[in-house]
Structure 1
Amino acid sequence: MAVLVIADHDNAHLRDTTHKTVTAARALSGDIDVLVLGQNCAAAAKEAAGIEGVRKVLTAESAGLDKMIAEAVEAVVLPLMDGYDAVLTPATSAGKNFAPRIAARLDTAPLTDVVEVVDASTFVRPIYAGNALETVQSNEAKKVITVRPTTFKAAGTGGSATVESIAGADAPKTTFVSEEMVKSDRPELGAAKIVVSGGRAMGSAEEFKAVIEPLADRLGAAVGASRAAVDAGYAPNDYQVGQTGKVVAPQLYIAIGISGAIQHLAGMKDSKVIVAINKDADAPIFQVADYGWVADYKTAVPELMKALG
């Protein structure tokens, strides 16, 4: 079985989601190639060549691929699929955008948010906002799979794959207009080892910033937020943790003023240690928390900051 993994990177560096997707690909028991799409992405391709278990790295460059426009990605991947039985990509916003398009063109049903690869045709994925897991079997000749990286260990390094350039592509009917990037010295939310999240109880964007960000900075943590906090304008969209936001699994997750709606729990309940601070003793967040502190965050967070020194 030949497997193609579409890399997640910023042109200069691979994200660890790529290493974790390679781990998922290994369970399919076949030759693994990595496709690096972007612009000026030689550094990322070189890094991909060092992943253990990778046979070959393919690189394609264009302006459309730099922004991972779905039509451009599809134009590169489809001709390659004659030589592959499956294509895997991390379940990032980009992956969720282009994977369905590739699946449609291949006339196959995509397998989304896979959390376990049982064998080459059997997969486990969450349903009902993560409250249940279903095991599915696919007899499709070509498989298109998005992988939830938080459930897989990162593949090691030490490989020596060859790097080969192939033709890039652009999207003739789609153009990139603009993007707004939030620059921060804090760790990236999806890869952070510690996450401090705030909820609707913050009451305002000013309060969110005054309470959540200093604690995150003290711990060297990323900042997260519930959907309610984001919808209320307390935090930007890229802070959102949950089923319709980012799925995280840090070593430590601190939830402050978050009640614990199903939508939010689906995005963070795989965290190794969960600490919840909420004045409502019956809040659902306490059902998944390892440590619960029933208190008003206005007194609890200052006490925590003082204890941290």
Structure 2
Amino acid sequence: MTILVIAEHDNAALGRSTHATVGAAALIATFAGLDVHVLVAGHDAKAAAEAATRIAGVSKVIFVDVPLQVPDMAEVHAMTVERIARGYSWILAPATRNGSRLASSVAATLGVAWISDVTGILSAGTFERAAAVHRASKTQQSCDVINVITVKVDAFDAAASEGGGAMLEKMSAQKTRRSLDAPNDAMRRAKYGTGCIEERRSTRFSQGTTFKALSDKLETAIGASRAFHERLRLKRYSCVD
């Protein structure tokens, strides 16, 4: 398994956030001994993709040239990440508005936790995260087979923009969302390690489950109301007698 960095760019050039995210990925790579790949998706963004191949520490760049007429570029971007996500152990994006939105979508699709606002890499699976205002940062250990992470770009040194020699792989964009394969059995059966700090969120509840829960609560409330009125009726009759 490998590390994937989702690049932010304006099609012509990469943003600093991308270099900082690669810097965070490089720290994970030093612990896990894995390669770092970068995904560049956008319309006519070959210049940005070629720039990514020169980033120090990157071994491969996946370039997706998205047609201009695609109505929702963000949707295609998310779909592309989801297509290849199960080939990676770590998926990193900058903790910007777009990066967080994308990471949240990918984590929900994969059924894993989204580890947000990472400020430090303590080991391959242990991260330091920004906490609430006026509180110290907190440590979180990953419990998933695939780790979806957003990093605070100001907390990491940017990877050098020159010095790398990554291969460039072009991938076709899909214009419509495709359903993903069923999650790997290993992911479904993954056990939480001792000491894991669980901050998992319920990202998907079926409508049937939700409606059943509401129905049970409503039925309980109705039963309680009927019992109350029956007690009140009996009390009134006893007072009349």
Normalised-by-shorter TM-score class: 0.5 to 0.7
More helix by share: 2
- Aligned twin of 1:162: 167
Paired residues for 1:10-25 under 5 Å: 10-25=10-25
Q: What is the count of residue pairs matched by the alignment?
A: 171
- Aligned twin of 1:106: 110
Identity of matched residues, %? 39
Once the two structures are TM-superposed, the CA of residue 33 in structure 1 deviates from its matched residue by 0.3
> TM-score with structure 1 length normalisation?
0.53
Matches of 1:155 and 1:130, distance apart in 2: 30
5+ residue gaps in structure 1?
A: 173-309
* 1:56 pairs with one of 34, 53, 60: 60
1:12-57: per-residue Cα shift (whole Å, max 9, x none)? 0011111110110011122100000111001000100000010000
Work out whether residues 80 and 173 of structure 2, in 8 Å CA contact, stay in contact via their aligned partners in 1. yes
Letter in 2 for 1:21: T
Matches of 1:130 and 1:148, distance apart in 2: 17
Once the two structures are TM-superposed, the CA of residue 171 in structure 1 deviates from its matched residue by 5.7
Work out whether residues 110 and 144 of structure 1, in 8 Å CA contact, stay in contact via their aligned partners in 2. yes
| 1:27 partnered with 2:32 | no
Letter in 2 for 1:16: R
| 1:141 partnered with 2:145 | yes
| 1:129 partnered with 2:112 | no
SS in 2 for 1:28: helix
Structure possessing the higher radius of gyration over alpha carbons: 2
Work out whether residues 126 and 141 of structure 2, in 8 Å CA contact, stay in contact via their aligned partners in 1. yes
Once the two structures are TM-superposed, the CA of residue 74 in structure 1 deviates from its matched residue by 2.2
Letter in 2 for 1:19: H
- Aligned twin of 1:73: 77
Q: Comparing both chains, which one has the higher relative contact order based on Cα–Cα distances under 8 Å and sequence gaps of 6 or more?
A: 2
* 2:88 pairs with one of 66, 84, 92: 84
SS in 2 for 1:76: helix
Once the two structures are TM-superposed, the CA of residue 115 in structure 1 deviates from its matched residue by 0.6
Once the two structures are TM-superposed, the CA of residue 169 in structure 1 deviates from its matched residue by 2.9
Matches of 1:94 and 1:8, distance apart in 2: 9
Once the two structures are TM-superposed, the CA of residue 66 in structure 1 deviates from its matched residue by 9.3
- Compared CA separation, residues 102 and 58, structure 1 to 2 (3 A): same
1:258-297: per-residue Cα shift (whole Å, max 9, x none)? xxxxxxxxxxxxxxxxxxxxxxxxxxxxxxxxxxxxxxxx
SS in 2 for 1:115: strand
Matches of 2:148 and 2:171, distance apart in 1: 21
Matches of 1:11 and 1:28, distance apart in 2: 27
Work out whether residues 64 and 170 of structure 1, in 8 Å CA contact, stay in contact via their aligned partners in 2. no
Matches of 2:153 and 2:163, distance apart in 1: 21
Letter in 2 for 1:40: D
Work out whether residues 86 and 146 of structure 2, in 8 Å CA contact, stay in contact via their aligned partners in 1. no
Letter in 2 for 1:2: T
- Compared CA separation, residues 148 and 66, structure 1 to 2 (3 A): farther
Letter in 1 for 2:17: T
Once the two structures are TM-superposed, the CA of residue 167 in structure 1 deviates from its matched residue by 1.4
Once the two structures are TM-superposed, the CA of residue 72 in structure 1 deviates from its matched residue by 1.8
Superposed CA RMSD: 1.8
Paired residues for 1:233-252 under 5 Å: none
Once the two structures are TM-superposed, the CA of residue 79 in structure 1 deviates from its matched residue by 1.9
Paired residues for 1:1-309 under 5 Å: 1-29=1-29, 30-62=34-66, 63=68, 68-69=73-74, 71-129=75-133, 131-156=135-160, 157-170=162-175
Matches of 1:93 and 1:49, distance apart in 2: 25
Work out whether residues 127 and 139 of structure 2, in 8 Å CA contact, stay in contact via their aligned partners in 1. yes
- Compared CA separation, residues 129 and 13, structure 1 to 2 (3 A): same
